[in-house]
Amino acid sequence: MTYVRHYGRPDLFITFTCNPNWEEVQALLLTGQQSIHRHDIIARVFKQKLKSLLDVIIKYSVFRKTRCYLYSIEWQKRGLPHAHILVWLEENIRPEEIDQIISTQIPSPSMDPELFNIVTSHMIHGS
């Protein structure tokens, strides 16, 4: 609440979820192990990837110049962490700019098959 009192409402709410199939996790598992057996590996890889994501958002101003940010890490019942990130930008996002920042388009399988496979396997839930 201190951040909201001082900076106002955040401009972005981002959820970042761990993927147990990340190459960095799979490479460190011993024969016969699954990611659920190695919470230490999951925690370390997740923290590194979260730091990289924050660097892209903050240092490289991918959305715009950032005023401040705040995040909280939670662990799901199945044993995977996820982070909720609040970002305050120097310039507030105006309603007419939302479509330039947030996209819900599924990539074309013929133009970018790799991105299409990533999006359809990780971002679409259920059948």
In a domain, 91, yes or no: yes
In a domain, 48, yes or no: yes
In a domain, 15, yes or no: yes
pLDDT in tens, 67-91: 999 999 999 876 789 999 999 999 9
- Stated length of the chain: 127
Residue 122 is predicted with a pLDDT of 78
The mean predicted confidence, pLDDT, of the chain is 90
How far is CA 53 from each of CA 46, 57, 79, 89, rounded to the nearest angstrom? 10, 6, 21, 16
In a domain, 108, yes or no: no
pLDDT in tens, 44-67: 999 999 999 999 999 999 988 999
Burial of 89 (0-12, 13-18, 19+ CB in 10 A): buried
In a domain, 72, yes or no: yes
Query: Is 70 exceeded by the pLDDT of residue 98?
Result: yes
In a domain, 119, yes or no: no
In a domain, 123, yes or no: no
Residue 121 is predicted with a pLDDT of 83
Number of domains comprising the chain: 1
Q: What is the mean pLDDT of residues 36-47?
A: 93
In a domain, 107, yes or no: no
Q: 69: which strand partners? A: 87
Residue 126 is predicted with a pLDDT of 64
